[in-house]
């Protein structure tokens, strides 16, 4: 067999092993771009420097997965990301956007958990209103994806009808940064003094930092974590925690570089 056929086969396998890195950064990556990434990696492996890079990347990924599965490292990293405080009376409960199942037009588990926590705080009387993020579809990889905030609002209205909380929709939301800017603008206009910030635990440190950077008084009250058991007792839960861990630590670095924290 010609050397290039052997090299191509090995490169295709290594490229396939590295694809989870792309999914860690963007779980909603469509099959088309994902397949092109795999093909590009396989073909680039015919070039010796790129082949060595694939080998190094695969070895690094194997080491990372081993550390995640068999050591306490993920629990330590996840614990540092969480900012949890006792609720206090506030002017609004800010429910940050999570994920969407675009095909079904339904809220993903993290979005449901955040909404549930926000409504729990409202029912307990900590604040009279909620803010919801009226997202654009592009952030989920599909311009036709329904607005997360509007789907959540429909759910609130179905549960409470006119007896539910006042809801403020934040338009054209794309990131935690745009949510912070929108809430800061509404808070200044409405004279809000304090907000309760609801997001999933791993996202709470970056979210709190982004909001406080704009001078907002924020109390962090995270939701439950629906994607995995936060005790991380089982290897599978540790593996599931890898996506938010990678995204949040990269997000913290990016936000600091841009001066958003």
The string over 218-238, giving b where at least 16 C-beta atoms fall within 10 Å of a residue's C-beta and e elsewhere, is bbbbbbebebbebebeeeebb
pLDDT, tens digit (0-9, with 9 covering 90-100), for 216-260 = 999 999 999 999 999 998 888 888 898 899 889 999 999 999 999
Looking at residue 60, its pLDDT comes to 75
Compute the half-sphere exposure of residue 32: CA atoms within 13 Å on the CB side of its CA: 1
Cα distances (angstroms) measured from residue 46 to each of 25, 33, 36, 41, 58? 26, 21, 16, 9, 16
Assign 15 a pLDDT band (cuts: 50, 70, 90): low
Looking at residue 166, its pLDDT comes to 95
**Residue pair 148/111 in contact by the 8 Å Cβ criterion:** yes
Question: Is the per-residue pLDDT at 142 higher than 80?
Answer: no
Assign 4 a pLDDT band (cuts: 50, 70, 90): low
pLDDT, tens digit (0-9, with 9 covering 90-100), for 159-192 = 998 889 999 999 989 999 999 999 999 999 999 9
pLDDT, tens digit (0-9, with 9 covering 90-100), for 33-91 = 666 666 666 666 566 676 677 667 667 777 877 888 888 889 999 999 999 999 999 99
Looking at residue 165, its pLDDT comes to 95
Question: Is the per-residue pLDDT at 17 higher than 80?
Answer: no
Calculate the average pLDDT of the chain: 86
Looking at residue 33, its pLDDT comes to 67
Looking at residue 195, its pLDDT comes to 98
Beta strands 195-198 and 218-220: pairing type?
parallel
């Amino acid at each position: 067999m010609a050397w290039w056929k052997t090299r191509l086969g090995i490169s295709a396998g290594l490229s396939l092993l590295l694809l989870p890195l792309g999914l860690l950064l963007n779980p909603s990556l469509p099959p088309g771009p994902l397949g092109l990434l795999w093909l590009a990696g396989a073909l680039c492996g015919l070039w010796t420097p790129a082949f060595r890079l694939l080998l190094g990347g695969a070895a690094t990924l194997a080491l990372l997965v081993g550390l995640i599965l068999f050591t306490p490292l993920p629990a330590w990293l996840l614990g540092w990301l969480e900012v949890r405080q006792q609720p206090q009376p506030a002017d609004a409960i800010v429910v940050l956007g999570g994920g969407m199942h675009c095909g079904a037009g339904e809220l993903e588990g993290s979005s449901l958990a955040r909404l549930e926590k926000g409504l729990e705080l409202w029912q307990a009387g900590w604040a009279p209103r909620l803010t919801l993020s009226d997202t654009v579809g592009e952030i989920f990889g599909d311009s036709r994806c329904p607005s997360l905030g509007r789907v959540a609002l429909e759910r609130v209205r179905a549960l409470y009808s006119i007896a539910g909380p006042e809801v403020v929709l934040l338009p054209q939301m794309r990131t935690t940064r745009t949510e912070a800017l929108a809430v800061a603008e509404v808070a200044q206009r409405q004279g809000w003094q304090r907000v309760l910030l609801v997001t999933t635990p791993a996202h709470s440190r970056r979210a709190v930092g982004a909001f406080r950077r704009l001078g907002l008084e924020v109390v962090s009250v995270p939701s439950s974590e629906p994607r995995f058991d936060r005790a991380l007792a089982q290897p599978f839960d540790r593996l599931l925690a890898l996506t938010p861990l990678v995204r949040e630590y990269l997000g913290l670095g990016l936000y600091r570089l841009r001066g958003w924290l």
